[in-house]
A and B are shown apart, each in its own frame.
Chain A
Amino acid sequence: GEDVEQSLFLSVREGDSSVINCTYTDSSSTYLYWYKQEPGAGLQLLTYIFSNMDMKQDQRLTVLLNKKDKHLSLRIADTQTGDSAIYFCAESTTDSWGKLQFGAGTQVVVTP
């Protein structure tokens, strides 16, 4: 089964905040990532967080990590129509050397 789980769909109004959630099972996860995939395109790295951090903020993006519960979230402030995409949570572990384990992806639809 999946080691990384995400909800599959999120609808949000333009200007509101979006919160995308992810859970993972591997306690040796070292880095956790958020990738964005726009229609017909490959994946682009949005942000990542090291497992000994609780929070990371980068402009409109805030990543929260609860290591005890193995829960990761991505908050997008002031969501825009250009934020409509599929968002993937991924993890790498100390023995994976760059191999990423992805979740199924959350499709975010931003409505006017």
Chain B
Amino acid sequence: DAGITQSPRYKITETGRQVTLMCHQTWSHSYMFWYRQDLGHGLRLIYYSAAADITDKGEVPDGYVVSRSKTENFPLTLESATRSQTSVYFCASSRQGAMNTEAFFGQGTRLTVV
């Protein structure tokens, strides 16, 4: 199916565990983004990628790692989960270099760290 999909939709993990959130898009969009959504903060950018093998930090990157070996995938890894990383995570993609382009969002992953 065409679009952008995230998995899992829901995840509960324990403090200190490593967890990876997956994101896959079928449009061959160059740009991909990870945001976290917390009450009162809106969406904050964690990491973004302009193309395969090119990634850069956003506003709140600490505790997260990303990779982009293939254009269509952009996994986000929490190396050692903390309770402050309990949040809803959104992946998004957009076409290259056009600022009036629409960013397409996945359905989100609700992560709870206990």
- Seen from chain A, the residues whose Cβ lies within 8 Å of a Cβ on chain B are 2, 4, 8, 30-31, 40-45, 48, 50, 88, 92, 94, 96-105
Most chain A CB within 10 A, of B43, B100, B101, B108, is at: B43
Smallest CB separation, A44 vs chain B (Å): 7
B71-114 interface code vs A (CB 8 A; 1 in, 0 out): 00000000000000000001010100111111101111000000
Smallest CB separation, A74 vs chain B (Å): 15
A-B contact pairs, 28 of them (CB 8 A): A2-B42, A4-B42, A8-B40, A30-B99, A31-B100, A43-B90, A43-B92, A43-B105, A44-B105, A45-B103, A50-B100, A92-B99, A97-B50, A97-B99, A98-B33, A98-B48, A98-B94, A98-B101, A98-B103, A99-B33, A99-B48, A99-B58, A100-B33, A100-B43, A100-B103, A102-B43, A104-B40, A105-B42
A88 touches B43 (CB 8 A): yes
- Asked if B22 lies at the interface with its beta carbon under 8 angstroms from chain A, I say no
Smallest CB separation, B114 vs chain A (Å): 21
Smallest CB separation, A81 vs chain B (Å): 22
In Å, the complex CA distance between A48 and B35 comes to 20
Known: A41-B107, A44-B105, A104-B40. A99 touches B90 (CB 8 A): no
Extra contacts besides A41-B108, A98-B48, A98-B98 (19): CB < 8 Å: A2-B41, A2-B42, A31-B99, A41-B107, A43-B92, A43-B103, A43-B105, A97-B31, A97-B50, A97-B99, A98-B94, A98-B97, A98-B103, A99-B58, A101-B45, A102-B42, A102-B43, A104-B40, A105-B42
A42 touches B105 (CB 8 A): yes
Smallest CB separation, B25 vs chain A (Å): 12
7 A-B pairs with least C-beta separation: A42-B105, A102-B42, A104-B42, A102-B43, A43-B105, A45-B102, A98-B31
Smallest CB separation, B77 vs chain A (Å): 21
Residues of B within 8 Å of A97, CB to CB, are 31, 50, 97, 99
Smallest CB separation, A36 vs chain B (Å): 11
